[in-house]
Amino acid sequence: KIDVLSITDHDTIDGSLSAIEIVSAEKLPIIIIPGIEISTKSGHLLAYGISKDIERGIEIRETCEAVRSLGGISVLAHPFDFLRKGTLRIKDFRFVDCVEVFNAKSYFNFLAKRYAIKYGKRGIGGSDAHTARQVGIVINYLESSEKESILNAIYDGRKQTIKERLSFLLSRINPKP
């Protein structure tokens, strides 16, 4: 069961805000954390807890400042993964609040984790879902399911466990169209 979900479409907050409206209207038992995956000059950056679009194509440092000004948390998305437009610049680790240390589609998680530790950054995991079937393939277990508590826990680095679900491992072995 998924209790909390964040939809981080590329360069638009619209999908996330639509999900919040649907969950509210249908009174569904899930919390939506608003988010966006922003294309910066050097790679993708996830922003959680914001409610409006942020300019794309600018430096990560400026993007992180914009995220913070809106009360959000910035997360370096799939670093070193040149296949998915992850940053290849080590200096970008200095500017973010957290690092995606486990991305379900990346082969570079070990590097992301190594540099997150080196720069004292908190780590989170991401499904990087582009289809409904991929939603929830990576789970971050946190103690609270309240929106503000979740954002604070991620930012403060409170204990969390990141796991990949067996169903996705099986779908990698036996993919279906």
Antiparallel, parallel or unpaired: β 122-126 and 138-141: unpaired
Q: How many CA atoms lie within 13 A of 47 on its CB side?
A: 32
How many alpha carbons fall within 13 Å on the CB side of residue 55?
A: 10
Nearest one of 134, 121, 119, 120 to 164, comparing CA atoms: 134
Query: The tokens of 74 are what?
Result: 């910035």
What pLDDT score was predicted for residue 172? 44
pLDDT in tens, 40-83: 999 999 999 999 999 999 999 999 999 999 999 999 988 887 77
CA dihedral 82→87→91→97, nearest 10 degrees, is -140
Share of the chain above pLDDT 70, in %: 66
Q: Are 154 and 122 in contact (CB under 8 A)?
A: yes
pTM: 0.79
CA distance 128 to 134: 8
Structure tokens at 28: 């569904």
CATH topology of domain 37-173: TIM Barrel (3.20.20)
Q: What is the CA radius of gyration of the chain?
A: 15
Q: Pick the residue with more confidence: 55 or 98?
A: 55
Residue 126 and residue 62: Cα distance in Å, rounded? 23
Q: What is the pLDDT of residue 7?
A: 86
Can you tell me the distance from the alpha carbon of 127 to that of 46, in angstroms, rounded to the nearest whole number? 13
For Cα atoms 68, 104, 35, give the angle at the middle one, nearest 5 degrees: 25
Mean pLDDT of the chain: 78
For the chain, give every domain's residue range: 37-173
**Residue pLDDT, tens place only, 127-167:** 665 666 656 666 666 666 566 666 666 656 554 555 554 44
SS3 of residue 16 by DSSP: helix
Residue pair 79/87 in contact (Cβ under 8 Å)? The answer is: yes
